[in-house]
Amino acid sequence: MKKEASNFSAPGGAPGEKTEFSLIPPATLETIYGNLLKARVLEARIGRGKAVRDAGWDAVKASSAAVLMDTRAEDLVIAAAEIPIARLIRGEKATAVVRTRETREESARQLLHAVGTALASRTKKDGRVVIALWRDAEEQLWRDVQEMARAHTLPLILVCPVSEPVKDGRNLEPGTELPRIIVDGYDAVAVYRVAHEAIDRARRDRGATLIECASFRVKGQPGRHGDAVVNMERYLRGKNLLRRGMRREIEESFAGELRPPLSAKRPRR
């Protein structure tokens, strides 16, 4: 099978080592593009599109459209309320996502729940994977979660923002760091490749991975745009997969999903 090369190191690989990835099926690429567009529509509808932008967290939100592509129904996904697309990808109806306002849980509770579920899955060896998209955890808790994930080889994927280049392992002692990948959060194709490998690695009992989504230009990304949709359209266009009117078709179809059913409308008096 033909392979594509990537400049990103696979989890557990040597830094800077080039890793080959299978070509991504066109249907998967189109689904990722659709998720990016739907995420934008959802945020605008819910009212979060006008919020003050946090570049690092914005990159995580954009990356979620690709990170969750390979999850299964039995997997656990923990995501902040600011990422409504996560609920849609996990099977919740669009009308429910817009109607329901989730309360934001404390980071500590989210992370501990993720670790506990991952530990149970590791014990049962049931192939279940836990993915946590989060931010703003207390430093000591962050270190403890990483250490537990590393020590117990947990099937846990941590996805968080990094808004500027970081050279160290967030002050962790040598040998206690998780396999760590920094990826451009606005490059959905790169994010998908990294997440695909991390999830596969977790399912094969090879442990956790830390994915840090950057909002700055990373090496090997010339001409990249700070907009995940624009970058994805460029990629699809280069593969001759961006059909004329494709974006409008997806947005109009999703707008139809957001309309409440006729039976739910109040009758006229």
> Residue 219 — φ and ψ, nearest 5°?
-55, 135
Please determine, for residue 167, whether its predicted confidence score (pLDDT) is greater than 60.
no
pLDDT of residue 44: 83
pLDDT of residue 134: 79
Our measurement of the distance from residue 238's CA atom to the centroid of its chain's CA atoms, rounded to an integer in Å, reads 23
CA distances from 102 to 1, 20, 67, 81 (A): 44, 39, 21, 6
Give tens-digit pLDDT for 3-49: 333 333 333 333 333 444 448 999 999 999 999 999 988 888 887 54
* C-alpha triplet 190, 45, 231: angle, nearest 5°: 20
Residue in 112, 135, 95 with CA at minimum distance from that of residue 261: 95
Please determine, for residue 159, whether its predicted confidence score (pLDDT) is greater than 60.
yes
> Residue 254 — φ and ψ, nearest 5°?
-70, -35
* Six-digit token string for 5: 């090369």
Give tens-digit pLDDT for 179-229: 889 998 899 999 999 999 999 999 999 999 999 988 766 566 565 667 899
Give tens-digit pLDDT for 109-141: 878 899 999 999 999 999 999 999 877 667 788
Give tens-digit pLDDT for 48-103: 545 445 666 777 888 888 999 999 999 999 887 678 888 888 888 888 877 765 55
Three-state DSSP class for residue 120 = helix
pLDDT of residue 261: 62
Mean pLDDT to the nearest integer, 228-243: 94
Domain spans, the chain: 3-260
Handedness of CA 135, 119, 88, 27 (dihedral sign): positive
What residues have CB less than 8 Å from 132, skipping those under 6 apart?
Answer: 77, 78, 79, 110, 111, 114, 156, 157, 158, 159
pLDDT of residue 115: 94
CATH number of 3-260: 3.40.50.970
Alpha helices in 68-155 (DSSP H): 84-89, 94-99, 107-124, 139-151
Q: What's the pLDDT band for 168 if we cut at 50, 70, 90?
A: very low
* Six-digit token string for 58: 């914005």
Weakest-pLDDT range from 88-92, 197-201, 247-251, 262-266? 262-266
Residue in 79, 83, 69, 55 with CA at minimum distance from that of residue 161: 55
Please determine, for residue 106, whether its predicted confidence score (pLDDT) is greater than 90.
no
Residue indicated by tokens 């249907």: 27
* C-alpha triplet 28, 32, 34: angle, nearest 5°: 115
Three-state DSSP class for residue 167 = coil
Segment holding 193, helix H or strand E: helix 188-203
Residue in 95, 46, 56, 90 with CA at minimum distance from that of residue 71: 90
